[in-house]
Every structure is written in structure tokens, then in C-alpha cells.
Amino acid sequence: MAVMLILLGGLVTWFVGWIIYCRWLHPYSKYPGPFLASFSRLWIIKELYSGHLEVTLKKWHAKHGPIIRIAENEVSVSDSTVIKAIYGAGTTFTKTEFYSAFSMPWSRFPEHFCNIDPKSHGERRKLVNHVYTMTNVGRYEPAIEECIELLYQRVKDASESGRPTDMALWLRYYAFDVIGILFFSRPFGFLETKKDYRGWINATDVLILFMAASAFVPRWMRSLVLMTSIVVPGAMAAVKAMDTMSDAGFEAVEKRQKELEESGGVMEKDDMLASFFRVMEEHGDLDNFGPPEIRGEIYTAIIAGSDTTASAITSVLYHLTKNPRTYWKLRDEIDTAVAEGRISSSGRVRYANAVKLPYFDACCKEGMRVHASLGLSFPRYTPKEGVELLGEFFPPGVKVGCNPQIVQRDKGVFGEDADEFVPERWLGRNAADLERHMLNFGGGPHMCLGKNISMMEIYKALPELIRDYDFELVDPKKEWTLINRWFHQPKNVQTIVTKRKK
């Protein structure tokens, strides 16, 4: 009993001391923020659960200024002029252990996204950078077109049925299938079967809250947080589905190795997987790039590249349909380009031609600005000598971060109408400057590796669909449903699709 009392007393003293330290002595004690955040990470977890962290955070910034304390050792900065310093080329800020939570137990090296050691990250990324360049991704344009054909069929079905259809879901299926065709030489089958292949989408929806929450707690608590997911109905099935996602890369590598053996070492398929096999051939022994690393590339692409891309395309289409003025202006641009032979009048639209449509390009940028695919701050440690930001000194080793959903709506840079969907802002003379204040794809050493894949997916699909079909929201007055649990996902965008008369 006495031991228990001593332990309890010790715990209470520690807790009181911790609160006093956090609220009055910590370098961040001077910054405003929610009470729970001033001594814990509970505020973030609570907001993750609500699915609308960016809404609450925006209110805090609007009321209390550009620096808000979101956890005992972390602030969010809403002023987009700091992006270059924190995330730009040559930055000395480093990723925090938040990222290591997403690393897979079978990895020999943390995947690029999870690698928080700048030296190792730079070395590992150098091995594969060329696989993700637009020149290499461009080689797979015909493969992406196979998925566009499948998407086109689903849109056609919707127009023929005359019933509302959920474009958010079809675009999600499309984005997953593109990863399938690029990395496995075949779409996974989402669009073909009109089903959630192996339950991956459901698994992500069920588990993302726990995966994100586990990244915010200390390492020793991560497994505990993940285990709490068992209270959610269907969690076990979701965990099993997630396992099949992680195994998919393993299966793909094994299958390709077997095919290579059978063909006497001739690589018969030409896809991203083949590119990684070439990296393995060249660097395998020298740089430890083998099957587990290829598996890591594939797993990251499925997890980091599907929902993010789907969210971006859905945002562009949703905001166009929500703002008919922009929709009609874009439709005119596409029709004129068809009439002048700058894009094809039927069949697939070439990426090289789509990017040359100025208003369309502006609509895509604006769709990704008003809606960021990732909706939490990207946390970084301040450099070892400390740093000055916005006239404030930040000591070494504290966490700062910008949330793309907040900084991309910074009125100081994007103007008083920053909350509105106004593609025209990208046609002005200051467009290049606006670009520097975007964080949707990250920046500098951690700039999204799959950006070119996503650009190809987005820019190829939409002009063709709008050329041949009209899209209208079932209820244009209703806002879309968004859930932000790291992936900032649109749901249930009910749309009426009509075949255009030509």
C-alpha cells in the first residue's frame, strides 16, 4: 500500500511539474493555442478524431496570429513566407519522428517518406530519383491511358443510367488502378470490377485515424495506439486487408523474378517495376538496393500515391462544378482547342497537349490550392543553431510545421479571396511567386517523389472527360463532405453526368 502511495505521489508530482514546465517555462509557452495542446498531444488526437483539424486550426490562426502552439513542443505557422526556409532546397530543418511511424517492419532502410536522417535519405533517394522524372513517367503514358479508358467506361455508364454517381469514388478507383498498371503492369481491378479491390479503400478509411494518431505519440506508445483500433467494428478485417497491401509489393517482386528466370533474364514488361529491377541490377550489391527496397517503393506508391491523387482530381472537378462560371470557361477552352486541333477530338488527350491549356492548368493548380490532399502540418525540427522566423527566435530542436491547407489560403499572399476557387489568379504575372507559396507536394529535399505520376493522371483524365461529358453536382448548394485524418479526403460527391451533344 505504502509503495502504491509513493508511486502515485511521484506520478502526481511529475505531472504537476510537467504542466508547470510546459505552460510557463517551455520556449513555446509564450505562444497561444488550445489548452490541451499546451502540455500534451491530446488536442491533435482529439482533432484527428473529429476529422476537421484544419477547420479548428484556421480559427485559431485567424484569432491569435501566425504562430499557434498545437502540442507541448510543436507550433503551426500559417504565414506561407516561411515555407522556403522550413521546406525549401538547402533547408537545415529535419523531419521529426512523426514520419518514422509509417515505416514498415520489413524495411532494411526507412522508405523515403519515413527516412528522417537527411544523409541516408539523400543517398537512398538518389538511387531512384530518375525513375520518377517526367521523362521516365512519360514512357508509361499509354499504360495510364488504359486506366483512363476504364474510367471513361464508368462515366459512360453513369451518363447512360441518368442516375447520380459518386465521382469521388470513381476517381479514387482510378488513382489506385494507375498505381497498379505502373508498378504491376496491370490495373488492380477497381474500375473493371467496380469494387474495392482486396478491401484496401475500406482498410485505409478504417485505420488511417489510428495510423496518424500513432505517429503523434511517443514511440513507446505507438503499438498501444494501433491496438486501440480493435474497438472499431471491422478493424481486424481492415488490418488483414492492409497486410495484403503490404504483401502486394512482395508478390509483385517475386512474380517478376520468376518471369525473368523463365525468359532467360530478358525483361519482357516495361513498367516502373522494370525500372526498379534495373536499379537493382546496377546498384544492388553496391548500395543495398534489393527486393525489400523495391517492395518499399511499391508500398509507398500505393499508400502515398492513390488517395492523395484521387483527392486532388476530385477537388478540381468538384470546384469546377460548384463554380459553373469556371466550368463553362474551361469547357470553352477545351472546345476551342479541339476545333483548332490542339487536342484530339476523340480518344485520349496527350499530356503534352493538356498542360498547354492555360485555363485548365490554372484550374488544376487552384483545385490543389484550395484543397490540399494532406491536411496536417508537416513537422520539422529547427536546426541545431536555432533559427529566426517571422521575427521570433526558435531554439534548436523544437518542432515547427506548416499545414498546406492553412498556408495555401494565406490571404497575405493569395489575396482576400484566398478561400475562393479563382483559377484566374494563376494567369496573372505573379503566378510564379504564388507557386513558391504552395506546399501541396511538399518541397526541397522531401518534395513528393510521385508528383509527375499524379500530374500525368490529373492532366490527362479531365480534359477528355469534360470534352465528352457534362458534369453537374446533384445539389450545387451543398458543400462536399471532407474528412481530414492526414489524408484529406472528399467523400460522396454526387454528380449527374450527361453525354455532350456535338
Q: Is 309 in the site for ligand HEM (CB under 6 A)?
A: yes
Which amino acid is it at 433? Answer: D
What is the C-alpha separation between 84 and 426, in angstroms, rounded? 20
Q: Is 454 in the site for ligand HEM (CB under 6 A)?
A: yes
Helices (H), 112-199: 118-128, 134-138, 141-161, 167-184, 190-193
Please tell me the chain's helix, strand, coil percentages from 3-state DSSP, rounded to the nearest 5.
Answer: 60, 10, 30
What is the C-alpha separation between 105 and 418, in angstroms, rounded? 42
Give the torsion through C-alpha atoms of 124, 130, 132, 135, to 10 deg: 170
Grid cell at residue 251: 508478390
CB of 350 to ligand HEM, least distance (A): 20
Task: Please pick, from the candidates 449, 482, 493, 497, the single residue that binds ligand HEM as defined by CB under 6 A.
Answer: 449
Q: Is 471 helix (H, G, I), strand (E, B) or coil?
A: strand
HEC assignment per residue over 135-154: HHHHCCHHHHHHHHHHHHHH
CB of 374 to ligand HEM, least distance (A): 5
Q: Is 304 in the site for ligand HEM (CB under 6 A)?
A: yes
What is the C-alpha separation between 444 and 84, in angstroms, rounded? 8
Give the torsion through C-alpha atoms of 310, 311, 312, 313, to 10 deg: 50
Stretch that binds ligand HEM, among 147-155, 158-166, 208-216, 302-310 (CB under 6 A): 302-310
Q: Is 124 in the site for ligand HEM (CB under 6 A)?
A: no
Task: Please pick, from the candidates 238, 448, 462, 466, the single residue that binds ligand HEM as defined by CB under 6 A.
Answer: 448
Task: Please pick, from the candidates 201, 374, 438, 482, the single residue that binds ligand HEM as defined by CB under 6 A.
Answer: 374
Q: Is 363 in the site for ligand HEM (CB under 6 A)?
A: no
Task: Please pick, from the candidates 76, 159, 185, 300, the single residue that binds ligand HEM as defined by CB under 6 A.
Answer: 300
CB of 127 to ligand HEM, least distance (A): 12
Q: How far out from the chain centre does Cα 291 lie?
A: 25
Task: Please pick, from the candidates 31, 39, 43, 113, the single residue that binds ligand HEM as defined by CB under 6 A.
Answer: 113
Which of 29, 452 has the CB closer to ligand HEM? 452
Stretch that binds ligand HEM, among 21-29, 343-351, 415-423, 436-444 (CB under 6 A): 436-444
Cβ-contact 279, 131 below 8 angstroms: yes
Cβ-contact 454, 310 below 8 angstroms: no
Task: Please pick, from the candidates 440, 484, 489, 495, the single residue that binds ligand HEM as defined by CB under 6 A.
Answer: 440
Tell me which residue has cell 513558391. Answer: 436
Task: Please pick, from the candidates 378, 394, 414, 487, the single residue that binds ligand HEM as defined by CB under 6 A.
Answer: 378
Q: Is 137 in the site for ligand HEM (CB under 6 A)?
A: no
Stretch that binds ligand HEM, among 141-149, 194-202, 242-250, 445-453 (CB under 6 A): 445-453
Stretch that binds ligand HEM, among 139-147, 235-243, 304-312, 332-340 (CB under 6 A): 304-312
Cα Rg of the chain, angstroms: 24
Task: Please pick, from the candidates 312, 317, 389, 422, the single residue that binds ligand HEM as defined by CB under 6 A.
Answer: 312
Residues 394-433, one symbol each (x = binds ligand HEM by CB under 6 A, - = not), give ----------------------------------------
Residue 329: how many CB atoms within 10 A of its CB? 17
What is the C-alpha separation between 91 and 74, in angstroms, rounded? 18
Q: Is 446 in the site for ligand HEM (CB under 6 A)?
A: yes
Cβ-contact 192, 179 below 8 angstroms: no
Q: Is 229 in the site for ligand HEM (CB under 6 A)?
A: no
What is the C-alpha separation between 3 and 19, in angstroms, rounded? 24
Stretch that binds ligand HEM, among 144-152, 158-166, 232-240, 435-443 (CB under 6 A): 435-443
Closest CA relative to residue 113, chosen from 426, 442, 438, 344: 442
Stretch that binds ligand HEM, among 244-252, 296-304, 354-362, 409-417 (CB under 6 A): 296-304
Q: Is 84 in the site for ligand HEM (CB under 6 A)?
A: no
Which of 321, 489 has the CB closer to ligand HEM? 489
DSSP strand pairing (399-402 vs 67-71): unpaired
Point out which residues bind ligand HEM (CB under 6 A): 112-113, 125, 300-301, 304-305, 308-309, 312, 373-374, 378, 440-442, 446, 448-450, 453-454
